[in-house]
């Protein structure tokens, strides 16, 4: 999909169901069924890294050298950090129109959104009272608006699920990175066992921010926690208590403690990849893939084609997963032309073929000739998709699409019932070819 990057964490535990019964277990069974019906979501990485036009946050971590190789924000590392922190005085996204964002995303077929409330750099994209390092704060030129509230309200109005991304790490916090001049990496810069009083302050800071996000902005469906090295062991954030706080106002909240395993990773999130058949998790899962190479706005970014993204979408759904696509708004608060075009093209395909995508389930296995199948929960209907770029013969067999001569075979695009030739074959020319994406067939058992 893209180059391997140093920000991809390795899962801490096997991605299998936790057999332990928790108070939220029964609730989550129902909620995860709801989640699996949605199929397609958008994740917005947005913060002052957009102002810098660099890979989100990571250049601040001196040990994460990969983030600076060939594209340093500043050549001198001390100057890089200073200038980055000071971007708060420049970041002023006055053109941000959350309603336009939501309308564009709905038309693209997204059913839920996840918004970055705070990335690892510690810059907050909502009106927290825990720190002034925030958009709209004393040091910020952006005044009298709360971006998180605007985004959540706009996406709710369009009927989409609401998710909050939050990094458990905070490199701006003096309780996470001590101001002691030592070389810093992604983790806390001190031994928390030797300084429990400092770590207690940080844990309280995190809990208070989680309370703000989940108490002050209406119903939240998903709490998407990043920083897959923080939360246990030396960086114990009392996750059970955090979950209790988050669910005080959101009793049906799905919690995603990414890459940590266990109770609070309610579903798993393969990053920048589609699992191979032997890699498909037993847990509910969601591939997360940026539209470009970077999650946030980078002016030199290159974007994936709509064709590639639609093929990815069908592949993921046919294997039983959801897909979230990363969109990085500009410093001014708008989508790029490339993103807008891609979303429009995806939406045009989904508008025609979405019946075979949403609310379906998968029976993941190898299938002949590049066919991808999805299955309606009614047990009587399934769908077959194949990329317009896949090698195609003049005809294909019913066996390839797991149909029989007794079934009704329908071209999704036209609603036309397809003729079965000699009881075994269908002419490929009878199926309408979309401009991008995949052809789609509906099979109804009689």
Distance of CA 382 to the CA centre of its chain: 27
DSSP code, position 296: S
Give exposure, 224-252, as e/b (b: 16+ Cβ within 10 Å): bbbbbbbbeeebebebeebbebbbeebee
pLDDT score recorded for residue 446: 85
Q: Which helix (H) or strand (E) holds 270?
A: none
For residue 155, what are its two tokens? 């996406």
The pLDDT assigned to 14 comes to: 55
**Of the candidates 341, 299, 388, 269, the residue with the CA atom closest to the CA atom of residue 104:** 341
pTM higher than the cut 0.85: yes
Residue 402 contacts residue 382 (beta carbons within 8 Å): yes
Distance of alpha carbon 66 from the chain centroid: 23
Instruction: Please return the burial class of 326, using the count of CB atoms within 10 Å of its CB with bins 0-12, 13-18 and 19+.
Output: buried
Tokens 């590392």 correspond to 77
The 3-class SS string of 104-165 reads HHHHCCCCEEEEEEECCCCCECCCCCCCCCECCCCCCCCCCCCHHHHHHHHHHHCCCEEEEE
CA 20 from chain centre, in angstroms, equals 27
pLDDT at 2: 38
- 386 touches 315 (CB < 8 A): no
Exposed e or buried b per residue across 31-69, where buried means at least 16 C-beta atoms within 10 angstroms of its C-beta: beeebbebbbbbbbbbbbbbbbbbbbbbbbbeebebbbe
Q: What is the pLDDT of residue 396?
A: 96
SS3 percent helix, strand, coil of the chain, rounded to 5, is 30, 20, 50
Please report, in tens digits, the pLDDT of each residue of the chain (446 residues total).
334 467 777 776 655 556 899 999 999 999 999 999 999 999 999 999 999 999 899 999 999 999 999 999 999 999 999 999 999 999 999 999 999 999 999 999 999 999 999 999 999 999 999 999 999 999 999 999 999 999 999 999 999 999 999 999 999 999 999 999 999 999 999 999 999 999 999 999 999 999 999 999 999 999 999 999 999 999 999 999 999 999 999 999 999 999 999 999 999 999 999 999 999 999 999 999 999 999 999 999 999 999 999 999 999 999 999 999 999 999 999 999 999 999 999 999 999 999 999 999 999 999 999 999 999 999 999 999 999 999 888 999 999 999 999 999 999 999 999 999 999 999 999 999 999 999 999 999 98
The token pair at 276 is 């191979």
Pair of tokens at residue 119:
């990335």
pLDDT of the residue at 144: 95
pLDDT for position 19 = 81
Distance, in Å, from the CA atom of 77 to the CA atom of 118, rounded to the nearest integer, reads 23
């Amino acid at each position: 999909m893209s180059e391997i990057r140093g920000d991809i964490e390795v899962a801490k535990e096997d991605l299998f169901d936790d057999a332990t019964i928790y108070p939220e277990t029964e609730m989550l069974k129902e909620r995860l069924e709801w989640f699996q019906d949605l199929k397609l979501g958008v994740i917005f990485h947005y913060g002052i890294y957009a102002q810098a036009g660099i890979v989100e946050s990571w250049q601040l971590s001196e040990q994460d050298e990969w983030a600076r190789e060939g594209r340093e924000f500043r050549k001198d590392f001390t100057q890089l950090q200073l200038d980055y922190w000071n971007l708060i005085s420049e970041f002023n996204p006055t053109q941000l129109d959350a309603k336009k964002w939501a309308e564009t995303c709905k038309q693209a077929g997204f059913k839920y959104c996840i918004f970055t409330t705070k990335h690892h750099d510690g810059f907050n994209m909502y009106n927290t009272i825990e720190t002034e390092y925030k958009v709209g704060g004393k040091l910020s030129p952006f005044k009298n608006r709360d971006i998180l509230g605007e985004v959540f309200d706009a996406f709710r109005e369009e009927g989409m699920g609401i998710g909050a991304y939050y990094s458990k790490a905070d490199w701006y916090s003096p309780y996470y990175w001590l101001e002691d001049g030592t070389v810093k990496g992604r983790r806390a810069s001190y031994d928390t066992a030797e300084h429990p009083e400092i770590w207690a302050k940080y844990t309280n800071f995190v809990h208070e921010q989680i309370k703000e996000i989940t108490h002050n902005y209406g119903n939240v469906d998903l709490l998407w926690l990043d920083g897959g090295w923080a939360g246990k062991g030396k960086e114990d954030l009392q996750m059970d208590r955090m979950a209790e706080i988050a669910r005080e106002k959101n009793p049906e909240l799905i919690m995603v403690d990414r890459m940590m395993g266990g109770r609070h990773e309610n579903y798993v999130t393969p990053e920048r990849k589609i699992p191979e058949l032997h890699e498909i998790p037993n847990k509910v899962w969601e591939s997360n893939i940026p539209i470009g190479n970077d999650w946030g706005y980078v002016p030199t970014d290159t974007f994936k084609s709509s064709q590639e993204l639609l093929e990815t979408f069908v592949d993921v759904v046919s294997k039983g997963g959801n897909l979230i696509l990363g969109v990085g708004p500009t410093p001014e608060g708008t989508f790029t032309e490339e993103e807008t075009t891609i979303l429009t093209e995806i939406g045009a395909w989904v508008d025609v073929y979405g019946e075979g995508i949403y609310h379906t389930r998968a029976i993941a296995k190898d299938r002949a000739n590049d066919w991808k199948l999805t299955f309606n929960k009614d047990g009587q209907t399934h769908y077959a998709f194949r990329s317009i770029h896949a090698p195609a013969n003049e005809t294909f067999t019913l066996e390839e699409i797991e149909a029989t001569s007794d079934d009704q075979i329908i071209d999704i695009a036209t609603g036309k019932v397809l003729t079965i030739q000699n009881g075994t074959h269908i002419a490929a020319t009878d199926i309408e070819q979309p401009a991008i994406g995949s052809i789609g067939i509906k099979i109804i058992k009689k």
